[in-house]
Every structure is written in C-alpha cells, then in structure tokens.
Structure 1
C-alpha cells in the first residue's frame, strides 16, 4: 500500500504548504507537481481529526475551563460541582461581591491565576464557595447530599488554612485568597463564623503584611474584605482589630470592595482602639481620652477620598453613584460612632438623628437610582449604626428596608436585623449605654463560636 493509499483525498505536504491543487498520477508514488519539479513527494504531517473544528471559547470561558480541569485533576469532584465551577466565573456571580461590573474582569483574572497555580490547596475552598451559593445560581435549594459535600469541602479548606506558615508575599497572597473563599462560604451558610475566619487569616499574614510599606495591590487585592469584616465586628464588640489597613500609595487605586473609601479604614481602626480604651477608663476623668476623641473626630470630619483623574470616565454612572454613596455613608457612620462615644444613647439626640437619617436616606436613594445595594460588610455597619438612633415610629419602616439595603445572603440580613432589634430592646429599658459598652446589650455573644469548636461543626 502506497502513502497515497493510506491518505485518500489528502494533498502531499508540499502542495498543502503552498496551497496548490494536488493531482495524483495513477500507479505512481508522486503527485504531478512533485514529479514535474523533481521533488520527493511525502505525506508525513499528522492527520487532523474528522469533523467540524470546535468553536473557540472566549478567553474567560477558556480560563474557567482551565480551573475546572485543574481542580478535577485533584480527584473526587462531581459533575454538578464542575458545572458550578464554570458558572462561578460569570459576571453575574462575581458582581455579587464587588462594587460593580468594571471590577469583574480583574477579579476573575486574579481568582483564576491563584487557583490554577494552587488548585490542590484552594480547590476545596472554591468548591465550598461555589456550592454554598449554588441555590442562587441554580434557582433551587441544595439537597442533603450537596449540603454535606459543601460542608466537607469547607472543613478541608479550613484545615488547609490552619496549616499554612506565611513567610513571604506570595504565600501571603495565597493565604488571603484562601481566607476570602472560606469567608464567602460563611456569608451564605455560617454567618457567625465569618469573623473567626477573618481573624485567623489576618493573624497568619500579619508578620509579612506589617512589613509592607506600600503593598503590591495585586498581592493584597482581597485583603480589604477580610479587614472590613473584622473591623465591623470589632467596632460592635469593642475589640481590637488584628491589622491596620495599609493604604496603597498609588493615586489611581480604587478598591474592588470599598471603592474610594479604602483610606478611611485606618481611621476606623483608630476608632476601635479608642473605644476599647474608653471601655477600660472613666472617660469623664480622662483629659487624654477626650483629646484623643477630639483628634480622631476632627480627622474623620476632614477626611476626603483620593479620586483618580480618570475616575468618572473609567467607571459606569451606577458604579460612581455607589462608590460616592459609600464615601458619604461610611464617613457619617464613623462620626456617629464617635458621637456616641461622647454621649450616651438617648441623650443629645438631635445631631445623632440627623446623621442617622442622612445615612439611611442616602442608601435608599442610591438603591432607587442604581437598583443595587452596596455589596460590602461596611455598609451593614453603617445601617446598624444609623438604625440604633431611630425612634419608635421609624423603626418598623427601616427594619423592613434592611432586606433591601443589605447585600449578600438571607443569613447575613437576619444577622444585621437581630443586632438592631436586640439593642432597641435594651435601649428602651437600660440607661447610660455608650458605644463602648453597647456590646453588652446586643445579645451577640450567644452566637459566637470559638476557633476550637469550629472544625467540629463545619
């Protein structure tokens, strides 16, 4: 059998390369063109598979498929889980966790690059994250087997997090990503574990993070969500946060979670420290504490965000509205907390109620304009702070609005509602509740989990 018999209807290599018609001579081992030009007629190139060429996938889908292949190679991944993995990188899902659609591409690229390079250690966390939010993407609740699989993945991810030893920026970035993935799982199914996860992750990265004078935004892009989530809890519980946020020096930086408000985070850290100090001293007898309070109050009142030159051109109108709302609402919330460090709840109400309604009405107006709530745990803090000041006739209206204005899951909305309702109950009966002793009246302690029993319950 000749070479031509083995490849019927197939041009020789030379005719194929020059895109010439290849005519074969009967009972010959050479085509007409190669015979005329005295070339060796060969047919050595690999044969292509029969059938139509598959359509090229868009870049995001190709990268998502690469993640699925990497994670499935780790073994024991169901078809349902692989389907969820591919959907997890769509803009629709990513927009649930960033300020707006302009951040989706960079967020997707960051997650994919991290997971592809470390699928063995991040795979379980990403699967737990995807499974926990599956009811939103699938339109129906998970069955018992899927819920159990989700918790097994989360437990394995948590064990991996606890085993990490961070000594350089690459390991720090990997740890931040792992912590954020587990946090995303808790925001859906384990809301009272979210702060424990943040604190554990931040404690792990602290030795390296504290040495960074100007952290590379690509390496710490996700750290703000961990710091903000812990900050909210520390402000409510009168505790000291693990890390003080280091503001990027770039004038063009905009954070995917807190937008333009990132430079306010160090001041919220300072408010935590002052609140803790006031809880341990008699503020009326301490000139030093009063001076510290005046200083921070002045700093927050004068604070202005750094706005990139191309800000209004780079971001959509809805995103600009959301980020400007973040700026105003978070600063006002900080000032209201400082006000209640100075004056107990129920006294000097005029200024407090003005700030309270300013926060709530701005959030409501922004929602009406954009059709979106701000997906950031710091906005939950602003709503809680504002709701504490409401009078009886206003409470019912704004309590219902929590379900519109607060993002994330049903559990997270119930969490915010329970804090507000419990303090209202205490404020109606107790006296001399300042911000620094408020945590004694919110009833949150009964929900707390220690880090030791978390692994038994996940």
Structure 2
C-alpha cells in the first residue's frame, strides 16, 4: 500500500470515513458524508480506469476493489456486485495466465487466520464449486447423474474439511475473537452442507436433515453472541441459509434479530431480512420449491431489486 499511495488513497479514505461512527445519521456534520462520497467517486473512477497488465497491478486492483466494496457495504449496498464484477473482470486475464490450473477464478488459499473470515478461508474454494453446480442445475447444462456425483464429491470435501489453526492463535487474538472464529468455522462448514442438501431436495421434501443443519448453525451463532455479547463477523451467508428453513415462531424470533446477527451495517442487515422474508413467502406459496427457483421467486440476495 505504501508503494501505491496514489492508487489507494481515495479508496482508503472513503472506506475509513464511511465506517467512522454512524455516518447514515451524521446530520450534525454533512460535510463528512459529502467528503466520503467524493473520495468514493474518485476511487471508483480510479478503479474504472485502472490498467491491469501484470501480477503487481493485479494486486493493486484487488486491494482497491476491496476498499471500495467495504465502503459500499456501509453506504451503497446495491453497488457491490458492479464493483466486484469490475474488479474481477480486470484481473481475470492476468489471474488466468498466472494460474492456468484454475481458469475460472477458483482461487487456491493457504491456511491462515484473520479477524474477518477467521479460520474459514480454505472453505471458500468449496463454496465456489457449489456455486458452479448450482448454476449447472439452473441451466440444465449437465445431466442429473453427473450433478449428483459431483455434489457427493464436494459434500465429502466439506465434511472432511478441518480449519488450520496457527500455533500462535491464542497470542495473536483475544478470547472473544477466538470464540468467534470457532463458531464461524462450524457455521461455515454446515452452510454448504445445507445448500448441497437443498440442491438435491426441494424445500418441502426431506426437510428433516435441513432442519438439523439449520438449528446447528443458528444455535452456534446464538451461543457465541450470548457468551461474548458481540455478533460474529462475516456470518451472513450461514445465517441466511439457516433462517430460510425456519417455520412459525422461529421466523418471528429471527426476523427481529437478523439485523443484529447479520453484522456489517444496519442497511446490510435490513437487506438480509427483506430477502429472507421474500424467500419465506415463496416457500409458503408452493408445496415444493427448488433452491434455484427460490432465488428467482424471492428477492435475490445482494442484487438490484
């Protein structure tokens, strides 16, 4: 970042200002909000005009895209997809040439721990595999036999997954962070198992295993919050797929709590809750509904309405 200060400066300032206090209600200092948007606009212009020609400039592009996306999570939620598409589109030629084994942006990740995705980073390539299978099911471009066989392979990989725990974990992170990381790892492992189950069985069929996985995820999240008094970071995807399975009083309870547990920003939590409610309406309308049809019938998560 020090070697590319001009590239990152506006993105860093927009990101930092947007997350300083509750800027959504900063009526006492409208200049701060105006400055935030000015820096964000300049950062987006920089991202749009960025020339990615080698590995170093690819890294610059990823960092700038991440900064602008972090701003968007706070103040411009519906711009996230466009920012991500732009960033990934710019880096794809360089990434493909430097990683010929993974030409479709399926990243390879070494075990590590941080304060955001915790210990779960090495699960992300498996989420990518599930997304590809979900797309194949939706497009009908692959036979059911092949899909089921590949689902079995991915599901077994998820079941076999173990987080890599660094030796210095207890000295690098405090007690609350460690508790959150283990909760996050368990929830993130259960979430793809729940999704693969729903790729096999529509909502309304074979609901028992899905209910077990759902309650496993939600119980972990709730317990971690009860112990630490803080929501677990980056838990929105497991939270969403688990809450979709809820019925009756469970819906009432989690609908009122979703903005607390979804994290990031109030706007983001409200978006998750609105998407969830639309999925419940779709599930209640039909006797059975497939995973892919649910996305079409409900409000697509993190997409423009």
Normalization by structure 1: what TM-score?
0.61
Aligned partner (choices 142, 160, 163) of residue 305 of structure 1:
163
Match of 1:290 in 2: 148
Q: 1:138 offset after TM fit, Å?
A: 11
Q: Does 1:273 align with 2:132?
A: yes
Q: Give the Cα separation in 2 of the matches to 1:134 and 1:316.
A: 23
Q: 1:399 offset after TM fit, Å?
A: 1.2
Q: Give the Cα separation in 1 of the matches to 2:96 and 2:253.
A: 44
Match of 2:229 in 1: 371
Aligned partner (choices 420, 434, 446) of residue 276 of structure 2:
420
Q: Is the 8 A contact 1:182 1:197 kept in 2?
A: yes
Runs of 4+ in 1 over 6 A off after TM superposition: none
Aligned partner (choices 74, 85, 88) of residue 188 of structure 1:
74
Q: Give the Cα separation in 2 of the matches to 1:337 and 1:142.
A: 45
Q: 1:127 offset after TM fit, Å?
A: 2.5
Q: Give the Cα separation in 2 of the matches to 1:415 and 1:357.
A: 22
Structure number with greater Rg is 1
Q: Is the 8 A contact 2:275 2:301 kept in 1?
A: no
Match of 1:334 in 2: 192
Aligned partner (choices 90, 94, 108) of residue 204 of structure 1:
90
CA deviation profile, 1:386-426 (whole Å, cap 9, x unmatched): 01100122101011221221211111001110110001011
Residues 442 and 317 of structure 1, relative CA distance in 2, 3 Å threshold: same
Aligned partner (choices 20, 34, 37) of residue 151 of structure 1:
37
Is the partner of 1:448 in helix, strand or coil? coil
Q: 1:137 offset after TM fit, Å?
A: 7.8
Gaps of 5+ in 1: 1-113, 214-240, 450-458
Is the partner of 1:245 in helix, strand or coil? coil
Aligned partner (choices 428, 438, 441) of residue 294 of structure 2:
438
Residues 140 and 310 of structure 1, relative CA distance in 2, 3 Å threshold: same
1:44-123 maps to which residues of 2 (within 5 A)?
Answer: 114=1, 116-123=2-9
Q: Does 1:395 align with 2:251?
A: yes
State how many pairs are aligned: 302
Q: Is the 8 A contact 1:301 1:331 kept in 2?
A: yes
CA deviation profile, 1:64-96 (whole Å, cap 9, x unmatched): xxxxxxxxxxxxxxxxxxxxxxxxxxxxxxxxx
Q: Give the Cα separation in 1 of the matches to 2:298 and 2:29.
A: 34
Q: Is the 8 A contact 2:180 2:233 kept in 1?
A: no
Residues 137 and 145 of structure 1, relative CA distance in 2, 3 Å threshold: closer
Q: Give the Cα separation in 2 of the matches to 1:429 and 1:244.
A: 36
Is the partner of 1:428 in helix, strand or coil? helix
Gaps of 5+ in 2: none
Match of 2:108 in 1: 246
Q: Give the Cα separation in 2 of the matches to 1:135 and 1:255.
A: 23
Q: Is the 8 A contact 1:175 1:201 kept in 2?
A: yes
Q: 1:200 offset after TM fit, Å?
A: 1.4
Q: Does 1:448 align with 2:297?
A: no
Q: CA RMSD in A?
A: 2.5
Q: Is the 8 A contact 1:202 1:242 kept in 2?
A: no
